[in-house]
């Protein structure tokens, strides 16, 4: 079980970082709003865009996790999002922030990657505990409210995405080093097609639990 707890620890840490990055516009959006003179609707769109795209991306990322394994998908996700986060520094128009925000939604979708990945390392009787620990990674949103304002006050809002981009790269390296291959996942093995995987959407229980999650989250 030592490997399982190590995987849980590094996965939770990665999720904390992802969640902090996902919510970054909630903090730096305030000075950006002043610079661009955004109205309430435009500011709402700025902060909501990563959340909306994150929700939409959870389905394909979950499918890819089943196909290629959580270790590969999470590592790729962390690396791929570092550059867009860094580019936030150079954006100076609303459409540029919105475009980058669409991409940043991917880090919020990391929940759909880490949950099945971590679950594969634990027996059924301990998965509830493991999921609870991993789910605590949403505390990254709270961490963001402490870290990002401090950076903004001392170095300006442009420094926040730079720090977060470096954090994503460091986290990707740590995750790759400390995580382990998914048990039971073989990317070379033929997997069910997209249509077959989407048949789960016919199950009314899926929609019921989606409603529970939307209300509670």
Q: How far apart are CA 39 and CA 170, in angstroms?
A: 36
Give helix then strand counts, H and E, for the chain. Answer: 11, 0
Per-residue pLDDT of 99-117, as tens digits, reads 999 999 999 999 999 999 9
More confident position, 119 or 2: 119
Question: Is 90 exceeded by the pLDDT of residue 198?
Answer: no
Per-residue pLDDT of 166-193, as tens digits, reads 999 999 999 999 999 988 776 666 666 6
Cβ neighbours of residue 176 closer than 8 Å, sequence gap 6 or more: 71, 75
Q: How far apart are CA 25 and CA 19, in angstroms?
A: 12
Question: Is 70 exceeded by the pLDDT of residue 216?
Answer: no
Question: Is 80 exceeded by the pLDDT of residue 200?
Answer: no
Report whether 100 contacts 87 (CB < 8 A).
Answer: yes
Structure tokens of 80? 């791929």
Taken in order of first residue, the domains within the chain and their CATH numbers are 2-182 (1.20.1250.20)
Q: How far apart are CA 209 and CA 149, in angstroms?
A: 35
Q: How far apart are CA 60 and CA 73, in angstroms?
A: 11
pTM value is: 0.88
């Amino acid at each position: 079980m030592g490997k399982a707890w190590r995987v849980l620890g590094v996965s939770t840490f990665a999720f904390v970082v992802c969640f902090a990055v996902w919510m970054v516009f909630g903090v730096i959006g305030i000075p950006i709003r002043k610079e661009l003179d955004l109205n309430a609707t435009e500011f709402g769109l700025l902060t909501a865009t990563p959340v909306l795209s994150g929700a939409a991306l959870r389905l394909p990322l979950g499918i890819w996790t089943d196909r290629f394994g959580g270790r590969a998908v999470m590592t790729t996700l962390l690396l791929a999002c570092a550059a867009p986060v860094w580019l936030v520094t150079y954006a100076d128009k609303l459409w540029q922030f919105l475009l980058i925000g669409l991409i940043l939604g991917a880090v919020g979708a990391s929940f759909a990657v880490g949950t099945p990945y971590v679950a594969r390392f634990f027996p059924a009787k301990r998965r509830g505990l493991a999921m609870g620990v991993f789910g605590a990674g949403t505390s990254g949103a709270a961490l963001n409210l402490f870290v990002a304002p401090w950076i903004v006050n001392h170095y300006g809002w442009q420094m926040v995405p730079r720090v977060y981009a470096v954090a994503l790269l460091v986290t990707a390296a740590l995750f790759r080093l400390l995580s382990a291959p998914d048990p039971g996942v073989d990317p070379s093995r033929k997997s069910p097609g997209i249509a077959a995987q989407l048949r789960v959407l016919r199950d009314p229980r899926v929609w019921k639990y989606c409603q529970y999650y939307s209300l509670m989250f």
